[in-house]
Structure 1
């Protein structure tokens, strides 16, 4: 059984998946930026591989995307775009595995890292392994989208791993075949059977031994260690303060008002303050943490001037930003940028081989 997290913990969804979905919406003519902003999400922040979006905002965005696009097959469309490197350390670990079975074992153990509301159980039946996907909690009308993205994503990624369709594999789905599926059936290169008792990927023992074409034992070991570390960190970040911080990190406009964050998390402002206090945190301290992290990113990774950075971080002017940054770090933003560039230059110089 894979590690799982209850829906009430809300460990967040990797923002990159919503970014990919937004790009799909753009391709079919929907104003994806307007939709993200209406949900309170910053389109730029979604492109980060390290950011996670709250379950509530992710669900609202997906629901509106399906309704406003009029495309119930968005889950299948998303599945086709899920290239393995997008899945972080887990994607790298899977790509560097020896066999398809090793890759599926990794998915079973670490799926929580990429989809906290899903878990996997595997069992042998009829000469094949059944990898059954279960939703923790009730996702309601989004269940079809989630299962489409997950199971059909496995099909497309399996082809990426071994270079061809998985012979001896199939998909089982609960319920009747949806009316939209006929439009996608031809692109699903393995059999799909609806009306089953489970949502599962079924793989024969022979297919499980198929070699992965990117196999790399050393990389597999190091990336698996990263997955273990990330899983531990994710479970440690299950507190209410982390849920609040996730909303703050991805919010537009930034910083968000306390009332907006409370509404996103379905609690009152008073309850939000009380629960943060119970965890020795405050809303303003979390805003400041996010501001400092983003300030460092912008100072080291861009050439934006201080007025531009101040505007992005929600300050009236550069002077207010400078005072806050100096209070947090003891030095001015300009000094910080200079020191970071000096440090980067020293590292680059040390790595450059001397002329022969």
Structure 2
């Protein structure tokens, strides 16, 4: 039996996908910013290749997006917008692969980085390779959306990789054809068969040797190594404290209240505190870690003054922010800004964070 979204491990969803969906909503007349704020997400934090949004918030946003747009085919619409560079190191690794077959092998191996609970397995039958897509849990309303985006997105990205629709390929979908699909059928350049026993992408074995337009052996090797590192880090970051931090990082307003984070993660405040304590963490310390990282980004990458930064980070005034920043780093914000314009402010595992 598959775990539910509320009880299973939450590896999060890349924030950039929700950013792309928000842009799509804007084109069809939905106030995407208002929708994000009502879900508790900061629209200004989603355009990031590094941040991840909790599964529960992603599911709520997608569900509300479908309801308020009146468009159940949002997953197919999103699939058309998926460009390979949006997929981080995995996108780079796929783009630099020598052949379509090797690109699909990489996608199958590292899919967890982009769609954590989907899995791809290959079997060869006759003259075709079948790439079956399964989900290890019940994602609720998010599942149909993700399957649409995943399978139809593969068709779009296959054309990006080879320069044309992969000949002889087709998409299989389990279940009955949804009522909305007829509006999109002509936009999908391969046959789509509903009523199948599985969700799968079927490709002729001969097509797997098709060359990739952007092939680069050196880049392929380095980006694959990055995928390995990222997968290891994501797996290591599967603890409860990481889940809490993930919610804090993308929350609006910032900093979020403990009760709001507990509700997002479907636990009581008492349980949240206890589980953090079991991992030798605390809610306030996680808030301070995120504040410090965001402070460094704002000091280095924007022209915001100290009062504006203090307000963004939830401080009453610049003096309170300055005292906190100096306590964390031993430097005033102005001194830090002057000394660290280059190189870029380090990420979440920076030495600054380690000082907290």
TM-score (norm 2): 0.94
1:341 alignment partner, SS class: coil
Does residue 290 of the first structure (1) align with residue 290 of the second (2)?
yes
2:143 and 2:274 mapped to 1: Cα distance? Answer: 33
CA shift, 1:142, in A, is: 2.8
Q: Deviations over 1:295-335 (max 9, x none)?
A: 00000000100000000000000000000000000010000
1:139 and 1:336 mapped to 2: Cα distance? Answer: 43
Q: Deviations over 1:121-158 (max 9, x none)?
A: 11111321111111111123332211100000000000
Equivalent position of 2:331 in the other structure: 331
Equivalent position of 1:192 in the other structure: 192
Equivalent position of 1:77 in the other structure: 77
Equivalent position of 2:98 in the other structure: 98
Ranges of 4+ aligned residues in structure 1 off by more than 6 Å: none
Change (3 A) 1:216 1:259: same
Where in structure 2 are the equivalents of 1:4-15 lying within 5 Å?
8-15=8-15
CA shift, 1:279, in A, is: 0.2
CA shift, 1:186, in A, is: 1.3
Where in structure 2 are the equivalents of 1:40-79 lying within 5 Å?
40-79=40-79
1:8 and 1:80 mapped to 2: Cα distance? Answer: 30
Deviates more, 1:170-179 or 1:259-268: 170-179
Equivalent position of 2:152 in the other structure: 152
CA shift, 1:341, in A, is: 3.1
CA shift, 1:180, in A, is: 1.0
Change (3 A) 1:7 1:78: farther
1:342 and 1:176 mapped to 2: Cα distance? Answer: 55
Equivalent position of 2:302 in the other structure: 302
Equivalent position of 1:117 in the other structure: 117
2:240 and 2:110 mapped to 1: Cα distance? Answer: 22
Equivalent position of 1:23 in the other structure: 23
Q: Deviations over 1:223-253 (max 9, x none)?
A: 0000000000000000000000000000000
Task: Name the count of aligned residue pairs.
Answer: 340
1:125 and 1:299 mapped to 2: Cα distance? Answer: 57
2:340 alignment partner, SS class: helix
TM-score (norm 1): 0.94
Equivalent position of 1:225 in the other structure: 225
Q: Deviations over 1:38-94 (max 9, x none)?
A: 000000000111100000000000000001100010000000011000000000000
Alignment check: 8 A CA contact 2:129 2:204 kept: yes
Q: Deviations over 1:234-285 (max 9, x none)?
A: 0000000000000000000000000000000000000000000000000000
Q: Deviations over 1:104-136 (max 9, x none)?
A: 000110000000011111111132111111111
Alignment check: 8 A CA contact 1:6 1:117 kept: no
Change (3 A) 1:288 1:125: same
Equivalent position of 1:175 in the other structure: 175
Change (3 A) 1:317 1:217: same
Long gaps (5+) in structure 2: 345-356
Where in structure 2 are the equivalents of 1:206-285 lying within 5 Å?
206-285=206-285
1:227 and 1:64 mapped to 2: Cα distance? Answer: 32
Alignment check: 8 A CA contact 1:168 1:206 kept: no
Alignment check: 8 A CA contact 2:6 2:266 kept: no
Deviates more, 1:5-14 or 1:259-268: 5-14
CA shift, 1:8, in A, is: 1.4
2:178 alignment partner, SS class: coil
Equivalent position of 1:352 in the other structure: none
